[in-house]
Amino acid sequence: MKVLEFAFADDDENDFLPHNYTHNCVVYTGTHDNDTVLGWYSQAEGWEKEHCNKYLGINPGDEVNWKFIEAAYKSVADYAIIQMQDILGLGSEARINVPSTLGGNWVWRMKDGVATKEIADRLYHLSKTYSRLEEK
C-alpha cells in the first residue's frame, strides 16, 4: 500500500515516491484517515512542500489534486485508487475521518451532479494514456 501524501516528508529513497514502487502494490492519493490532497497540500510547508512541487511538477495555478492523480495513474502500481474528494478537488471540509476524535467523522457525502462528464472524460483520458483500462 502506497500513499502519495506520505511521499514527500523524506528524501528520494522514500518508499511512497512513485519511482520506488513495484508492480505488486496499490497506490492511493490518501486514505480515509488522511486529509484530502488539497487539505494536505494547504498545510504542507518548507522542504516537504518544495519536494512535492518539484517532484510532481506543480507550478502556481496548477490543479494540485490532478497532479497527484496523474502521478498515481502513471506509476507502475497495479492499482491506483483515488478518493472522490480528491477527484472533485475538495479541501479539508470533505475529510472523512480524523483518527482519535469523536464527532464529525464519516459524514461527508457526495452531492448529486458534482461528478460531471468533464471529470469522467479526464479520468478516462488518464486511464487510457497510462494503460489503466481493462481490455474486454
Question: Could you tell me the residue range of the domain that residue 99 belongs to?
Answer: 2-129
- 105 in any annotated domain: yes
Q: What is the pLDDT of residues 80-129, one digit of tens each?
A: 999 999 999 999 999 999 999 888 899 999 999 999 999 999 999 999 99
Cα distance between residue 88 and residue 115, in whole Å: 8
> Is 73 inside any structural domain?
yes
pTM of the model: 0.93
Q: Band of the pLDDT at 136, cuts 50, 70, 90?
A: low
Number of structural domains in the chain: 1
Residue 67 lies in a domain: yes
Asked if the structure places residue 99 within a domain, the reply is yes
* 44 in a structural domain: yes
53 within a domain of the structure (yes/no): yes
Choose among 75, 39, 76, 81: nearest CA to 56: 75
Q: Residue 136: inside a domain, yes or no?
A: no
Per the domain annotation, does 135 fall within a domain?
Answer: no
**79 — phi, psi (to 5°)?**
-135, 145
**What is the structure's pLDDT at 13?**
87
What are 34-77's pLDDT values in tens digits? 999 999 999 999 999 999 999 999 999 999 999 999 999 999 99
Q: Is the pLDDT of residue 131 over 80?
A: yes
